[in-house]
Amino acid sequence: MPTELLTKEHVLSAPLFPQSDRKIEVFAREVYQKGKENADIVLFLQGGPGFQSPRNIDELDWVKELTKRFRVVLLDQRGTGRSTKVGPETPQQFDSAESLAEYLSHFRADNIVRDAEALREQVFKVKQWYLLGQSFGGFASITYLSMFPQSLKAVMITGGLPPLPHHDVATIYQRLLDILAARNDRLYKTFPQLAASINHVAELLSYDLPDTGVLTRARLRDIGTMLGRTNGLQRLFYLFDDPFFDSDKNSLCWAFAKSIISVPNFDTNPIYAVLHESIYCHNFASNWAADHILQQHNAFQNDNRIYFYGETIRRAMFEEYFQLRDFQAAADILAQKEDWPVLYDVEQLADNKVPVVALVYEDDFYVDPHFSMETAGAISGCQVWKHPTWQHDSLRTKGKEVIKGLLKRLGA
């Protein structure tokens, strides 16, 4: 019989930032097996930014594997899930774009880590715990390793070693767009008949979507976020299997339009759009880096073939996506903000004593493996587990194998 997973819910009041009088709530769900109530804890840091921890825990092999030996704490990072939310409703709570931007500026990895540290001290009252960081959760793990290394027994990272602070945002996106272009080339090589179908669909776009925005040619390209997932090429191909309302292919059907707008999470999880480029900022501004590089990159200016985007935030999205429109002015302010705190302490990482193992996907669509390997080399004692074919979501799709491999390399 399958082992039953038990849960406890925890809520903590935390300051918006250190010394702030404004409080937010932080929610975490503890998952464990009977008899493991006092086991060591693995704190899971979710990918994103701007996504809550997983809810379908009974379906996650990596949770089942970890709970054989550990308690797992699933943190809803500030702004997500049952922690104090940032949603399409948030701008109505502020009287100016400046005050909204200032509020949102406190939802980066440094304060997420402070929330986690408060949970460790005040709720779980353990001296140390383990980290498991997926994607952006790996970025936050390196921030944790920089700020509070004494609180960590070991750190496990899957697809989430960030670029070091000396890399500016434009350089990071230039490399990422080269990766996106190569993945698009692979898509059309795998499905050569797809190009004509996509071009025809793009010619017919005319949907004004109530409460959702406008389905433009550029917004169609945002579905490229799926190209980095396991079987992502196949999934995108089948999205275009039946896009037309009539047999003459003169109009698109609503079901197709709805499937397209349901792929990205930019409007349902606004932090994902508003703060995405800020995760790469350390005392410098992002200045809509991805948008500028997209307009300069030859592959994405090809009129004969549509190249899909990835985690590339465009300024026009804040008009195309209805639920992002009220964030537009604040997003402009944040794109010009230069005084972002540095998120990684390079000297501390070079002197690191905490066991770290990082799974680096050599074919990663979202996190440049070149930068990941450079960062691994800057963390004393960091073990790298490179995989040539697994995709960025392999913690979800190959969870048991991933956890066993990470723990084996830790000797845990």
Angle between helices 169-190 and 232-239 (to 10 degrees): 70
Q: Does 152 share its domain with 184?
A: no
CATH number assigned to the domain comprising residue 59: 3.40.50.1820
Q: Does 386 share its domain with 274?
A: no
Residue 392 a catalytic site member: yes
Q: Which domain holds residue 328?
A: 169-336
Three-state DSSP state, 355: coil
Distance CA 34, CA 176 (A): 44
Token pair listed for 191 = 């499905």
- Give 198-245 pLDDT, tens digit per residue: 999 999 887 666 667 788 889 999 999 999 999 999 999 999 999 999
Q: Does 160 share its domain with 175?
A: no
Q: Does 132 share its domain with 266?
A: no
> DSSP class of residue 383?
E
- Give 159-198 pLDDT, tens digit per residue: 999 999 999 999 999 999 999 999 999 999 999 999 999 9
Our count of domains for the chain comes to 2
Residue 10 a catalytic site member: no
Amino acid letter, residue 94: F
Q: Does 306 share its domain with 390?
A: no
Residue 110 a catalytic site member: no
- Give 19-68 pLDDT, tens digit per residue: 999 999 999 999 999 999 999 999 999 999 999 999 999 999 999 999 99
Q: Does 174 share its domain with 255?
A: yes
Boundary-marking domain end, from 301, 318, 336: 336
Boundary-marking domain end, from 336, 357, 377: 336
Q: Does 308 share its domain with 363?
A: no
Q: Does 405 share its domain with 274?
A: no
Please report the DSSP string for 282-351 in residue order: SSS---SHHHHHHHH-GGGG-SSSPPP--S---TTHHHHBGGGGGGHHHHHHHHH---PPP---HHHHHT
Of 135, 146, 278, 286, which one is the catalytic site residue?
Answer: 135
Distance CA 215, CA 178 (A): 25
Token pair listed for 62 = 């990596």
Closest Cα partner for 108 from 242, 265, 251, 274?
Answer: 274
Boundary-marking domain end, from 316, 336, 356: 336
Distance CA 5, CA 57 (A): 8
Q: Does 156 share its domain with 226?
A: no
Of 21, 95, 208, 339, which one is the catalytic site residue?
Answer: 339
Of 168, 364, 392, 394, which one is the catalytic site residue?
Answer: 392
**pLDDT exceeds cutoff 50 at 108:** yes
Distance CA 320, CA 313 (A): 12
Q: Does 159 share its domain with 274?
A: no
